[in-house]
Chain A
Amino acid sequence: MQDHDHRKELFSRPHLWLIALAGVIVPRRLRADWRQEWEAELRSREALLADWDRLDWRNKFDLLRRSVGAFWDALCLQPRRQEDEMFQDLRYGYRMLLKYRGLTVVAVITLGIGIGANTAIFSLINKALLRPLPVVAEQERVYAVNHTTKRGWVFTTFSYPNYRDLRDRNDVMAGLIAYEFAPANLSYDGINERVWGYLVSGNYFETLGARAAIGRLISPEEDRLPDGRPVVVISHRCWQRRFGGDPSVVGRELIVNGRGFTVIGVAPRQFIGLEVSYAPEVWFPLMMRGVIRRSAAMPQGSGKSWLEDREGGELFVAGRLKPGASPAQAEDALKTIAAQLAREHPNENEGKTIELSTPGLFGEVGRRPVMGFSGVLMGVVALVLLLVCTNLANLLLARAMDRRKEIAVRLALGASRWRVVRQLLIESLLLLTGAAGEFKAPMALSTELNMDWRVLVFAIAITFLTSAAFGLLPALQATRPELVPALKDEAMSLGYRRSWLRGALVVAQVALSLVLMISAGLMLRGLRRSQYINLGFNPQHAVKLSVNLDLQGYDRERGEQFQRQILDRVRALPGVRAAGVGNYVPPDLHVAVLQVKIEGRPEARGGEAPLAGSASASPGYFQALGARLLAGRDFIEQDDERSVRVAVVNETFARSFWPEQNALNAAVGKRFSLADRDNSLIQVVGVVEDGKYRNLSEASRPFVFTPLKQSYNGLSTVVARTSSDEASAIAAIHRELRQLDPHLPIYDAKTLTEHLELPLLPARITASMLGAFGILSLFLAAVGVFGVMSYVVSRRAHEIGVRLALGAKPGAVLGLLLRQGMTPVALGVALGLIGALALTRLMSSLLFGVSPTDLLTFTGVALLLVTVALLACYIPARRAMKADLAASLRHE
């Protein structure tokens, strides 16, 4: 009755009601005192006010306001919860983790690796692929424009007239920009350096939404007339690094490629344009192309200036969608314009159409391999995380089984079911905290990586859900009020279902680790093979150094003289066995691709024409590279402007265009023409072995070399084969170059072996990661099998004892146990093989000379896994057989 009155009173006085509510969050230990104190104060105040006859609504409101403050008071008491149940649970959980020390260590380490690897890889990919480009406004509405042909070739670059028509005729883009890579020789304060830059259309900065840090940026006005406005915008970094952040740099004159350019402004901090892996220091108006890219801007075979020549082109094109336009609409609209252009200029544009892609990775060409590579990485770490989760589930399941009796005791003593479940959850949480602490250290070291916290939270959440699910499942079952059998330690009543669950987990573990290990095996074999891959040249004992004569203002005559002089000097150096000059050393992503027309065959136009890679080389170049001539002859000094045009083609070129028998010899003497020349016929004089021209995993493609004297190129790479030390050869050639022209910047001075390191890098990273994860997964699978087997054996100890006592042969019992343990393993291996067959296909771009279904790797790895699993089964089984027979029979 009294209680009822009290309640009634609470409802009539909301301020007391609030205190009752706030009291809920006060730590239980303090709650009674706390409530009493507040209630007493409020009631005494109430009484006081009533005495004064002033308990009107204003004072009631004041009382209410004061009781709201009680919430703050209650919140501030939260740190005093130590003695509360949660902390009891935490302490108890901590003690349990220490008790099951082996399990804790394994779980913490594997969790740490799983979460850490995922976070690291996702952060990396995030940075390369998903992270917005700095400064660029509303980046999701900016698209790169690509040219594609019916044969599946993708061109990421356009000629100027094609760009201009696309820009002026479309009504779907708020701005269509063009930009071109432009290395430049920069001179200031007596320093000569080659820097990376961009030639950009006048609407470039405006379309991308960039505002100058100081000064102003290039405007359409500055990009109107060819060679009209020699101005330059420098990057924020360049401004800080080269000019010490001095604001007076605006208006200053810099010498670029021998000509004065006025700095008009500094680009915003961190702005790099649209390519993530290219950080330019300078931007020039596109109309200054004649100065910046002297040789490329010179009239090609057709005799037209670059402003008029529709063929080829080196302009990357990107655009910002107009408000309301969708990417699909824009693509359709641009396709229509491309079709118009194909009708108007069939020679150059027939068969070409337009495709939009996400900017950032050199259009589609760069995107595909990068996506492939990162796809493999992400797949691998996702597998690892999955594996870690299964392993964790297995361990927790095992432990929960072990603790069935303990849980039953707690329930029998009156603990609520929720309390026990909460206890188990807290233990899972503690495991995770340990794991997070463990990998925080290595992550902190790699500050370069800019760990993404969202990813970290994601990985932790996934593992927490796993551990919660698998920690809870048995807990919920164990806390069912069937205490008697559990208390009596009756194992048999456990039933079949839960061992089925464990079996399934082992199947998953074995399958996952088999996939990982096979991938690792393939990568490692591929890397070993890559040492024997046919590069088409011999990287040993050879060096290369590059200079760009065009940028330094050499005309063709002086350039040829320079090339002749440097070759003479290098050949005279002691230890140099052969030397040559070329504009390209394979493999290199920047290789010219030209249309080929074979003499006497019908001409294919536009996108239909066959294509071949092309480079120019001096006599001695093949010898210096160590490339074998298979037929015909090398270039000679007499192959010059006055003589017949000649070429050395590769084996694939010869075989695909003259597929007669004994094609190599048959090709010599045949004639063809290339699209960028004046269509004059070129005679094949030699056939050189196939090589790797763009990257190491490409299929063989046609390639043609023309003599440097017939196709002059100022981009000169000296290649020398030496019998002496490579480093001293580089130093000696460096010295000779300096003597010829002390102002010429020299770059990429390295041995050919070093030159090969870059294309091999993704494979190396993947291989070392997969290798580490492969070993880890083998270990995890072994732990899983071992755990299941130990569990099965301990359950059946009694049965084994009975069997042995009745005279069963130990071998037969052992066989029985092994069969039971190995059944899920066999199933897992089968599933894993199927999974690996499906998945390893994705990695084919990273495998050198190894099939993604390499039989040796598949069987070898499967055998290794089965052996380890067998061992993991055998050890507990053996232990059970050796156990004291009498003891196991006495069990109950």
Chain B
Amino acid sequence: MGKYLSFTVAVILQALDNGYQYGFDIMDITGLPSGTVYPALRRLEEGGYVDSKWEKQAIAQSAQRPPRKYYELTKEGKEALAEAVQRYSLLKRTQAQPAPKPKPSRAQ
């Protein structure tokens, strides 16, 4: 990852920070296509800005589907986002919009 994040990547980071942690949720809130969001997530993960974890097996079983993978910001990711917000003033407006739903079900 370069020193400066592209606006798209910054938007994804912002979405993660706002609590949208699944790939599809990020697509919904940002309006970006899956072909953009997923590769960006992989690169962010590779660069150490994002961590990924599988949700608990029990939850998946109760929903009769395989466990989902969720992403969260690392410390570097948060710093990078803070820096990106300075550069992209448009991002600031989206900061105060937390996720509409409760946190994803990983805590259970």
Residues of A at the B interface (CB closer than 8 Å) are: 33, 36-37, 39-41, 43-45, 47, 65-73, 76-77
Interface readout for B30-46 with A: 1 if CB under 8 Å, 0 if not? 00011111110011000
What B residues does A69 contact at CB under 8 A? 33-38
Is B38 a contact partner of A44 (Cβ separation < 8 A)? Answer: no
Is A66 a contact partner of B34 (Cβ separation < 8 A)? Answer: yes
Q: List 23 A-B contacts (CB under 8 A).
A: A36-B66, A36-B67, A40-B60, A40-B66, A40-B67, A40-B69, A44-B63, A45-B24, A65-B34, A66-B33, A68-B35, A69-B34, A69-B35, A69-B36, A69-B37, A70-B34, A71-B35, A72-B36, A72-B39, A73-B35, A73-B39, A73-B42, A77-B42
Is A37 a contact partner of B65 (Cβ separation < 8 A)? Answer: no
What B residues does A77 contact at CB under 8 A? 42
Given contacts A37-B23, A69-B37, A69-B38, 20 further A-B contacts (CB under 8 A): A36-B66, A37-B68, A40-B60, A40-B65, A41-B23, A43-B63, A44-B22, A44-B24, A47-B63, A47-B64, A69-B33, A69-B34, A70-B34, A72-B34, A72-B39, A73-B34, A73-B35, A73-B38, A76-B39, A77-B42
* 10 interchain residue pairs of minimum CB distance: A69-B34, A72-B35, A69-B35, A76-B39, A73-B38, A43-B65, A40-B68, A40-B66, A37-B69, A66-B34
Q: Which of A36, A37, A77 has the most CB of B within 10 A?
A: A37
Q: Given contacts A66-B24, A66-B27, A73-B42, are A44 and B35 in contact (CB under 8 A)?
A: no
Is A43 a contact partner of B66 (Cβ separation < 8 A)? Answer: yes
Is A44 a contact partner of B34 (Cβ separation < 8 A)? Answer: no
What A residues does B37 contact at CB under 8 A? 69
B68 partner, pick from A44, A65, A72, beta carbons under 8 A: A44
Closest to B67 in A: A40
Closest to B32 in A: A69
What A residues does B66 contact at CB under 8 A? 36, 39-40, 43
Closest to B55 in A: A40
Is B35 a contact partner of A47 (Cβ separation < 8 A)? Answer: no
Is A47 a contact partner of B65 (Cβ separation < 8 A)? Answer: yes
What A residues does B39 contact at CB under 8 A? 72-73, 76
Q: A41 to B37: give the CA distance in the assembly, Å.
A: 13
Rounded to whole Å, the gap between the CB of A45 and the closest CB of chain B is 6
What A residues does B65 contact at CB under 8 A? 39-40, 43-44, 47
Q: A111 to B69: give the CA distance in the assembly, Å.
A: 51
Rounded to whole Å, the gap between the CB of A42 and the closest CB of chain B is 8
Rounded to whole Å, the gap between the CB of A217 and the closest CB of chain B is 51
Q: A47 to B67: give the CA distance in the assembly, Å.
A: 14
Residues of B at the A interface (CB closer than 8 Å) are: 22-24, 27, 33-39, 42-43, 60, 63-69
What B residues does A66 contact at CB under 8 A? 24, 27, 33-34
Closest to A75 in B: B39
Rounded to whole Å, the gap between the CB of B57 and the closest CB of chain A is 12
What A residues does B68 contact at CB under 8 A? 37, 40-41, 44
What A residues does B27 contact at CB under 8 A? 66
Q: A43 to B68: give the CA distance in the assembly, Å.
A: 10
Q: Which of B35, B60, B64 has the most CB of A within 10 A?
A: B35
Rounded to whole Å, the gap between the CB of B40 and the closest CB of chain A is 9
Q: A576 to B67: give the CA distance in the assembly, Å.
A: 103
Q: Which of A45, A65, A68, A77 has the most CB of B within 10 A?
A: A45
Q: A128 to B37: give the CA distance in the assembly, Å.
A: 53
What A residues does B69 contact at CB under 8 A? 33, 36-37, 40
Q: A73 to B36: give the CA distance in the assembly, Å.
A: 8
Q: A41 to B66: give the CA distance in the assembly, Å.
A: 9
Rounded to whole Å, the gap between the CB of B26 and the closest CB of chain A is 11
Q: Which of A67, A71, A73 has the most CB of B within 10 A?
A: A73
Closest to A73 in B: B38
Q: A47 to B68: give the CA distance in the assembly, Å.
A: 13
Q: A65 to B35: give the CA distance in the assembly, Å.
A: 10
Q: Which of B43, B64, B69 has the most CB of A within 10 A?
A: B69
Q: A40 to B64: give the CA distance in the assembly, Å.
A: 10
What B residues does A40 contact at CB under 8 A? 60, 65-69
Rounded to whole Å, the gap between the CB of B31 and the closest CB of chain A is 12
Rounded to whole Å, the gap between the CB of A737 and the closest CB of chain B is 69
Q: A76 to B33: give the CA distance in the assembly, Å.
A: 15
Closest to B40 in A: A76
Q: A45 to B24: give the CA distance in the assembly, Å.
A: 8
Q: Given contacts A37-B68, A44-B65, A47-B65, are A70 and B60 in contact (CB under 8 A)?
A: no
What A residues does B34 contact at CB under 8 A? 65-70, 72-73
Q: A833 to B81: give the CA distance in the assembly, Å.
A: 78
Q: Which of A39, A67, A69, A70 has the most CB of B within 10 A?
A: A69
Closest to A35 in B: B66
A70 partner, pick from B22, B38, B63, B64, beta carbons under 8 A: B38
Rounded to whole Å, the gap between the CB of B44 and the closest CB of chain A is 12
Rounded to whole Å, the gap between the CB of A196 and the closest CB of chain B is 55
What A residues does B60 contact at CB under 8 A? 40
Rounded to whole Å, the gap between the CB of A10 and the closest CB of chain B is 14
Q: A99 to B24: give the CA distance in the assembly, Å.
A: 51
Closest to A39 in B: B66
Q: Which of A41, A47, A67, A70 has the most CB of B within 10 A?
A: A41
Q: Which of A43, A44, A47 has the most CB of B within 10 A?
A: A44
Q: A76 to B43: give the CA distance in the assembly, Å.
A: 9
Rounded to whole Å, the gap between the CB of A458 and the closest CB of chain B is 36
Q: A44 to B63: give the CA distance in the assembly, Å.
A: 8
Q: A69 to B26: give the CA distance in the assembly, Å.
A: 14
Q: A69 to B63: give the CA distance in the assembly, Å.
A: 24
What A residues does B42 contact at CB under 8 A? 73, 76-77
Closest to A45 in B: B24
Q: A19 to B22: give the CA distance in the assembly, Å.
A: 17
Closest to A41 in B: B24
Q: Which of B24, B63, B67 has the most CB of A within 10 A?
A: B24
Closest to A67 in B: B34
Q: A41 to B52: give the CA distance in the assembly, Å.
A: 14
Q: A621 to B24: give the CA distance in the assembly, Å.
A: 96
What A residues does B24 contact at CB under 8 A? 41, 44-45, 66
What A residues does B63 contact at CB under 8 A? 43-44, 47
Q: A72 to B22: give the CA distance in the assembly, Å.
A: 18
Rounded to whole Å, the gap between the CB of B6 and the closest CB of chain A is 15
What A residues does B23 contact at CB under 8 A? 37, 41
Closest to A43 in B: B65
What B residues does A37 contact at CB under 8 A? 23, 68-69
Q: A66 to B65: give the CA distance in the assembly, Å.
A: 18
Rounded to whole Å, the gap between the CB of A22 and the closest CB of chain B is 11
Rounded to whole Å, the gap between the CB of A75 and the closest CB of chain B is 8
Q: A499 to B7: give the CA distance in the assembly, Å.
A: 66
Q: A47 to B35: give the CA distance in the assembly, Å.
A: 22
Rounded to whole Å, the gap between the CB of B87 and the closest CB of chain A is 25
What A residues does B43 contact at CB under 8 A? 76
Q: A45 to B22: give the CA distance in the assembly, Å.
A: 11
Q: A41 to B24: give the CA distance in the assembly, Å.
A: 7
Rounded to whole Å, the gap between the CB of B5 and the closest CB of chain A is 17
What A residues does B22 contact at CB under 8 A? 41, 44
Q: A47 to B60: give the CA distance in the assembly, Å.
A: 12
What B residues does A67 contact at CB under 8 A? 34
What A residues does B38 contact at CB under 8 A? 69-70, 72-73, 76
Closest to B22 in A: A41
Q: A347 to B65: give the CA distance in the assembly, Å.
A: 101
Q: A258 to B60: give the CA distance in the assembly, Å.
A: 98
Rounded to whole Å, the gap between the CB of B68 and the closest CB of chain A is 4
Q: Which of B23, B43, B60, B65 has the most CB of A within 10 A?
A: B65
Q: A73 to B35: give the CA distance in the assembly, Å.
A: 6
Closest to A77 in B: B42
